[in-house]
Chains A and B, each alone.
Chain A
Amino acid sequence: MIQTMLTIALVLFAITITIAVIRIILGPSMPDRVLALDVIGVNLIASIAVFSVIMKTKAFLEVILILGILSFIGTIAYSKFIERGVIVERKRDR
């Protein structure tokens, strides 16, 4: 029973990631693509958690932490690139 539920959850996460990939390809504006990339990151984290419950192991929990950190930094970098056009500044002008 619980195995079936977990498998259905994985399939739904896969469908969500596919829809987000379509949004990245079609997306009319740049913020749409950034938001879709963030959605893909969150869904990857959740699907890895479900997968580690299925496999009955703790080895993937560090992968979840690293994916969270990298997705956070990536979203910040994309947002800053959209807003200012430069990611790492030499000297902030203010």
Chain B
Amino acid sequence: MKINDVILQTVTKLVVFIILTFGVELFFSGHNDPGGGFIGGLVLSSALVLLFLVHDIETVEKGIPVDFKKVAAVGVLFVVGTGVGAVLFGASFLSQAFGHFELPVFGSTELATVVLFEAGVAMAVVGTVVTIMLSISEDV
């Protein structure tokens, strides 16, 4: 039976970008406001889950040729790397540093190593959630 879901696919083309933008905004607002790597990763993975729902798995894997198990592994590597990197500088495990820099366009900007840690957490969450979704849907 041929199924007509033009409206759903057209809405999804717009909504996925809104959800991805909101996820990135949540990821960057995690320093002083509600947000952070975990919830940003969950929102990003919900956008991917919406893509997998509306289209099928093979179409999305042709468009986004990423192995999500490797994404989770690289994220965990980032998290452990920022922890061990603090040990290399003589500080205790997982201690973080920040500084103020003069950048050409942005002016005085505060850069922190917590962002790397949060990026690792976000990548681990995205990889894990998408892997769980795909491996649950395998059996059906």
Contacts and interface: CB of A to CB of B under 8 A. Distances in A.
Size bracket of the B interface: 20 to 34
Given A69-B19, A72-B15, A80-B53, A88 B58 contact: no
Contact of B22 (A65, A72, A77, A94): A65
Given A62-B34, A72-B15, A88 B46 contact: no
Chain A at the B interface: SS class? helix
B43 A66 contact: yes
B52 A69 contact: no
B53 A76 contact: yes
Size bracket of the A interface: 20 to 34
Contacts of B33: 59
Contacts of B15: 72
Can you list the 9 inter-chain pairs with the closest CB atoms, starting with the nearest? A88-B137, A89-B56, A92-B56, A86-B140, A91-B58, A88-B52, A94-B2, A90-B57, A73-B50
24 contacts: A59-B33, A62-B34, A62-B35, A65-B22, A66-B43, A69-B19, A69-B46, A70-B46, A72-B15, A73-B49, A76-B8, A84-B3, A86-B137, A87-B53, A87-B140, A88-B53, A88-B57, A88-B134, A88-B137, A88-B140, A89-B56, A90-B56, A90-B58, A91-B57
